[in-house]
Amino acid sequence: MITRTGDDSYTLFSEQYEQTYHSSFGAVNESLHVFMRGSGIEQRLRSGKASRVLEIGFGLGLNCLLCANSAENNKATLTYYGIEHRPISPTTYTKLHYRDLLDHPYLADNMVDAFSMAESISTGATSPHSIEQATIRVDLGHHTHLSLCIADAASEPLAEHLNNLQAFDAIFLDAFSPDHNPECWTLAFFKQLANLLTADGRLATYCVKGSVRRNLASAGFELHKYPGPEGKREVLWACKQRE
């Protein structure tokens, strides 16, 4: 079910996970505050720096679109790698009207192609035999290249694949909550993420649950809590612990 959030942007309620994909107080505000600003990616792009982002829980593609919009505005190269186990349909995506939020609406139009190809994989119309074959590649704009992998984020084949990629400047941990999607919040999973982050990179997430903080710290992250967007008291970003 598609719902309007507090900042007049739209989100979707997941019946499987019994949660909305974004905050009901404002989908765009949450994305900007928690992920773009919390990770430092907004500042990197404004400075024209080439940036690499890994998103755990690609969801509706909003985080990616807002990053791509900034990359286009600032002519900064953005390499975006999203992971999603159950992609939404292109029909559902178009009903979210995300193109109306952007300075460059063609970014949202090109995202339709990504979700169309993702639907082919998730419905079995095409049968990938490897992570490489389950990865969709789309140029969203002049400066943004999207790789969207249709896979379980905690799977061993995906972990092996990611370890062979260049490290990321930011990781967006935007999976559904630990109570509903526990495999993306474990100590073992966080150790994998720590290996994928650059020395000065940041992991950003909306979740400040005690068990999550403890697992992040045990995985080698230094934690920084800060005030959240409307409806959320605190959120956090994390970087690698300094030796």
Name the percent of the chain in helix, strand, coil, to the closest 5.
35, 25, 40
Query: Across-strand partners of 10?
Result: 4
186 near 180, Cβ under 8 Å? Answer: no
For the entire predicted model, the pTM comes to: 0.95
pLDDT in tens, 120-177: 887 775 656 689 889 999 999 999 999 999 999 989 999 999 999 999 999 999 998 8
Torsion of CA 65, 7, 88, 36, to 10 degrees: 40
* DSSP secondary structure of 6-61: TTS-EEEEETTTTEESS-TT-HHHHIIIIIIITTTHHHHHHTT--EEEEEE--TTS
Nearest Cα to Cα of residue 109 among 133, 138, 76: 138
Q: Is 191 helix (H, G, I), strand (E, B) or coil?
A: helix
CB 235 within 8 A of CB 226: yes
At residue 145, the 3 state secondary structure works out as strand
pLDDT at 125: 59
8 Å CB contact between 57 and 92: no
* Distance, CA of 170 to CA of 167 (rounded, Å): 9
Sign (positive/negative) of CA torsion 196, 140, 60, 30? positive
Q: Domain segments of the chain: what residues?
A: 30-240
Ramachandran sector of residue 67 (left: φ over 0; alpha: ψ -120 to 50; beta: rest) = alpha
Question: In terms of CATH architecture, what is 30-240?
Answer: 3-Layer(aba) Sandwich (3.40)
Q: What is the pLDDT of residue 7?
A: 93
Cβ atoms of residues 189 and 220 within 8 Å: no
Tens digits of residue pLDDT in 88-136: 999 999 999 999 999 999 999 999 999 999 998 877 756 566 898 899 9
Q: Give the pLDDT score at 130.
A: 85
**Side-chain half-sphere exposure of 211, counting CA atoms within 13 A:** 9
29's tokens: 């505000």
